[in-house]
């Protein structure tokens, strides 16, 4: 599948000798969410930020699983002549990145996982709230973003979530629609975002970053991570939640740059 992608070219003269960095967003996300971070990481290397299938401006498909998204990334790497990359994945993107590293070690130089463990996936209350709100919102009949925003605020109290959802709206010929293929995601997520590993081990450098206020990586998850990523460095950003790159961007950038 030909994924939509943003590419931020490195700013240094020797950029062509540096390994590409591919940033993989999470559920409901898109490449636009990572442009600011990507620019700050593009000083020495090309940064590639795709929209996963059924997200952003990439095509919609009834097929959706971690392994399928891994193959999408491999296809993208081949298309962009990127034989080996550094992978940075957040949340669901972290699951895709881990699976990519475990299945295709020769294509991954290093991996950075932002706030995602290896536990089986489970949709949370906020995920169901977003899905239900999208399902109920008659955006194709609405006349403005302001009207859509007003509808969202009646159902969702979090300002961050409202703004996050608004990014998933497009307008064509005066008609609003969802960029996100939420129907397939609802039907497929927990069934198809399957356990990550059997006996696979990735023996390259790995950085796992968790938010101090998040429960996506718990202390009891660390042994499992180390079992399959034995060269793991684990860092915690105090005061950050699950969207740690947005909550504490300077701390996040510092950890990533130090690892790179």
Phi (first) and psi of residue 176, to 5 degrees: -85, 145
**Active-site position among 55, 228, 242, 245:** 242
The angle that helices 125-136 and 182-192 make with each other, rounded to 10 degrees, is: 150
Copy the structure tokens of residue 100. 């990519």
Copy the structure tokens of residue 253. 């950038």
CA pair distance 93, 70, nearest whole angstrom: 10
Q: Is 22 within 8 Å of 87 (Cβ atoms)? A: yes
Q: Is 194 within 8 Å of 221 (Cβ atoms)? A: no
Q: Is 242 a catalytic residue?
A: yes
**Active-site position among 42, 91, 188, 214:** 91
Range list of H helices, 80-139:
92-103, 125-136
Q: Is 258 a catalytic residue?
A: no
- Residues known to be catalytic: 91, 242
């Amino acid at each position: 599948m030909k994924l939509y992608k943003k590419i931020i070219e490195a700013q240094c003269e020797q950029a062509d000798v540096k390994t590409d960095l591919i940033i993989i967003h999470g559920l409901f996300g898109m490449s636009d969410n990572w442009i600011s971070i990507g620019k700050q990481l593009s000083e020495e290397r090309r940064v590639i930020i795709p929209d996963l299938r059924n997200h952003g401006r990439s095509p919609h498909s009834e097929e959706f699983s971690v392994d399928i998204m891994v193959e999408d990334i491999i296809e993208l790497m081949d298309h962009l002549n990127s034989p080996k990359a550094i992978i940075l994945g957040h949340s669901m993107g972290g699951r895709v990145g881990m699976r990519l590293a475990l299945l295709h070690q020769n294509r991954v130089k290093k991996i950075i996982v932002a706030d995602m463990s290896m536990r089986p996936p489970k949709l949370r209350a906020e995920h169901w709230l977003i899905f239900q709100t999208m399902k109920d919102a008659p955006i194709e009949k609405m006349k403005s973003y302001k009207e859509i925003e007003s509808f969202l605020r009646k159902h969702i109290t979090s300002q961050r979530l409202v703004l996050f959802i608004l990014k998933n709206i497009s307008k064509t010929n005066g008609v609003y629609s969802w960029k996100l293929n939420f129907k397939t995601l609802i039907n497929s997520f927990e069934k198809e975002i399957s356990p990550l590993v059997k006996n696979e081990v990735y023996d390259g450098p790995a950085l796992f970053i968790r938010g101090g206020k998040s429960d996506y990586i718990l202390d009891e998850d660390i042994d499992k991570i180390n079992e399959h990523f034995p060269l793991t460095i684990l860092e915690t950003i105090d005061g950050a939640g699950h969207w740690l790159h947005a909550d504490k961007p300077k701390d996040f950038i510092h950890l990533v740059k130090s690892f790179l």
